[in-house]
Amino acid sequence: MTDKSADVIVVGGGVVGLWTAYHLAQQGVKTMVLEQFSYPHTRGSSHGQTRITRTSYSEPEYAALMPEAFRRWKDLQDEAGKELFINTGLLTVYDFVKQEEEFYSMLDNLSTHDVSHYVVPGISLSRSFPGLSFPANCKGIYDADSGILMADQCTTTLRSLIVKRGVDLREGERVLSIKPVNAKKVIVKTASKSYTCASVVLTCGAYVNKLLATVNLKIPVQPSRVEVTYWKDKSAEKKYSALNQFPCVIVAESPHYYSIPSHEYPGLVKICWHGGSSCDPDTRDHSTPDSAGVNKQNLEFLRRKVQSSYTDIDASKPAVTEVCMYTETPDSKFLLDFHPEHKNIVIGSGFSGHGFKTSPSVGHILANMALRLQPPYSLEPFSLKRFNTQSKL
C-alpha cells in the first residue's frame, strides 16, 4: 500500500537535508525526511562536536553563500537559546609565491561582502599568533567573524525545530529506490513501506549513487573514509584553546590542512588533513591494504606539518582519532541539479569540506528547486552539466 504523505520527501537527514526541510516547512510545504540510521549516529558526514565556519573564501560562489548562512545560524542559536557558534576568528595561511592569485581572490571576496579582516606577513605570524610557525614567504589573512559551529548541537537543534514546525522526520528507515511516475509524482520505497510525493530531494551523502542507480543515473562523486585527529597541547597555559581565543587555522596549500582550537576535548587540538581513502560507505570500516597505506601516508604527512607549524603541539602521534565520511566531486565543488530526465528529482551532493557551514544557504537552494521556484543563488558553478554526465546503467 502506498501512502501519499508529503509534498516533498528529503532523503538523508544530515545537516543539508535538515536545512532543506527547514526551508520547506517555512513555506508551509508538507515535508518528510527519511534518514536510514537512528540518531545520533556516526555513519555520515554531519556528526562530531565541531566544524569551522568562515566568511573567507577565494571562490566567489562559496563567498556568496556565507552571509545568509551566518545569519541563519545566528537566528537558530537565538531561537534555541543555547550556544551554537563560538567566535574565535580564522587565520588562512597562503604560500604567497605559489598562491598569490588565490590570496588576492580571497581579499576581494572579503571586501565585496564587507567582512572585517587584515593581512599578516609570514614574519609576523608567530608574533601575532604564538604557537604557530610559518616561513617568511607565507602570508595570512585573519577573518575576525569566523569560528566554530557546535555541530552536534546544531543538528540536534534543527531536528527539534523542524519537527515542531510539522516536518515528518523518520529515522531508521533506509530508502531502497525512487521511482518517478510522472512530473508530479514520485514513489519512494523504503525497507518498510512506500510513500509518494510530488518531488524528492536527495541529500544522502556517500549513499547517493546507490539510490541514483534506481533511476538510471550515476554522478561523479567519490566517498572517502577520513580520519579526524586530535593532538595534545603541550603548553602550560593551553595557548591553543578556544577559551584563550586561539583562532581556527586553514593552511591553504595542496592538500590543505586545518585546525580547530581545543574545546571538545580539553587540551586536545583538532588538526586534520583534508582528504582520506576511497571507500564504499557500507564497508568503510573494513580496511584494505590500499586504504591502510593511504591512511598511514596521510597521517605521516600531517604529523610533519603539525611538527613544523604548531610549536607547542605533541606531534609524535594523535591523542584521539575518529572517523568521518567525505563525498567529493572531481573538482571539489558542490553538485546541485535536477536529474537530467526527471525534474522532480533534485540532487544535492559533493558537500564535503564546505557543506556544514553553507548548509543553511544550500538548503534554501534545494528547497526552491524542489518547489520549482527561482533559486536564491546562481546554480551554474554547481551544475551537473560541467561533468557532461548522462543517464546510464
Residues 180 and 302 in one domain: no
User: Contact, 179 vs 189, CB < 8 A?
Assistant: yes
Concerning whether 157 is annotated as a catalytic residue, the answer is no
More confident residue, 299 or 160: 160
Helix ranges, 129-273 (H): 151-164, 208-212
Residues 241 and 317 in one domain: yes
CA distance 205 to 281: 9
Concerning whether 385 is annotated as a catalytic residue, the answer is no
Residue 392: what pLDDT?
Answer: 47
Residues 380 and 285 in one domain: no
Residue 44: what pLDDT?
Answer: 80
Domain that holds residue 156: 2-46+152-220+331-387
Banded pLDDT at 390 (limits 50, 70, 90): very low
Mean pLDDT across 71-83? 95
Residues 200 and 107 in one domain: no
Concerning whether 272 is annotated as a catalytic residue, the answer is no
Q: Is 101 within a domain? A: yes
**Residue of 324, 342, 354, 364 marked active site:** 324
**Residue of 23, 43, 51, 72 marked active site:** 51
Q: Is 60 within a domain? A: no
**Which helix (H) or strand (E) segment is 258 a member of?**
strand 257-260
CA angle 1, 342, 45 (to 5 degrees): 80
Residues 309 and 229 in one domain: yes
More confident residue, 122 or 143: 143
- The number of folded domains in the chain is 2
Concerning whether 184 is annotated as a catalytic residue, the answer is no
Q: Is 319 within a domain? A: yes
**Residue of 232, 357, 358, 364 marked active site:** 357
Residue 60: helix, strand or coil by DSSP? Answer: helix
CA distance 107 to 105: 5
**Residue of 23, 72, 274, 339 marked active site:** 274
Q: Is the pLDDT of residue 87 over 80?
A: yes
**Residue of 43, 139, 239, 270 marked active site:** 270
CA angle 273, 276, 277 (to 5 degrees): 160
State the cell numbers at 128.
601575532
Q: What is the DSSP letter of 245?
A: T
- Cα–Cα distances (Å) from 349 to 34, 41, 90, 179, in that order, read 16, 20, 26, 19
Concerning whether 324 is annotated as a catalytic residue, the answer is yes
**Residue of 20, 50, 92, 196 marked active site:** 50
Residues 215 and 229 in one domain: no
Segment 17-43, tens digit of pLDDT: 999 999 999 999 999 999 999 988 878
Segment 178-210, tens digit of pLDDT: 999 999 999 999 988 999 999 999 999 999 999
Q: Is the pLDDT of residue 393 over 50?
A: no
Q: Is 14 within a domain? A: yes
Query: What is the average pLDDT value for the chain, to the nearest integer?
Result: 92
Q: Is 59 within a domain? A: no
Q: Is the pLDDT of residue 92 over 60?
A: yes
User: Contact, 336 vs 329, CB < 8 A?
Assistant: no
Q: Is 138 within a domain? A: yes
Concerning whether 47 is annotated as a catalytic residue, the answer is yes
* Burial of residue 271 (number of CB atoms within 10 Å: 0-12, 13-18, 19+): buried
Q: Is the pLDDT of residue 1 over 70?
A: no
CA distance 158 to 152: 10
User: Contact, 51 vs 351, CB < 8 A?
Assistant: no
Q: Is the pLDDT of residue 284 over 80?
A: no
Residue 391: what pLDDT?
Answer: 42
Banded pLDDT at 323 (limits 50, 70, 90): confident
- Name the CA dihedral angle for 234, 237, 241, 247, rounded to a multiple of 10 degrees: -100
Residues 177 and 239 in one domain: no
| Domain stops at, among 328, 343, 378 | 328
Segment 126-164, tens digit of pLDDT: 999 999 999 999 999 999 999 999 999 999 999 999 999
Q: Is 80 within a domain? A: no
Banded pLDDT at 352 (limits 50, 70, 90): confident
Contacts of 269 (CB under 8 A, 6+ apart): 230, 231, 232, 233, 240, 259, 260, 261, 262, 310, 313
Residues 115 and 175 in one domain: no
Residues 232 and 372 in one domain: no
Residues 324 and 245 in one domain: yes
CA distance 378 to 361: 12
The residue among 41, 358, 350 whose CA lies nearest residue 204 is 350
**Residue of 43, 47, 239, 354 marked active site:** 47
Q: Is 380 within a domain? A: yes
Q: Is the pLDDT of residue 283 over 80?
A: no
User: Contact, 188 vs 342, CB < 8 A?
Assistant: no
Q: Is the pLDDT of residue 296 over 90?
A: no
Concerning whether 263 is annotated as a catalytic residue, the answer is no
CA distance 334 to 221: 10
Residues 231 and 214 in one domain: no
CATH number at residue 35: 3.50.50.60
| Domain stops at, among 310, 328, 346 | 328
In the chain, the percentage of residues whose pLDDT exceeds 70 is: 95
CA 309 to chain centre: 25
CATH number at residue 134: 3.30.9.10
> Which amino acid makes up residue 378?
S
Residues 176 and 315 in one domain: no
Segment 234-282, tens digit of pLDDT: 999 999 999 999 999 999 987 889 999 999 999 999 999 887 778 888 7
Residue 281: what pLDDT?
Answer: 83
Residue 252: what pLDDT?
Answer: 92
Q: What is the DSSP letter of 293?
A: H
User: Contact, 233 vs 239, CB < 8 A?
Assistant: yes
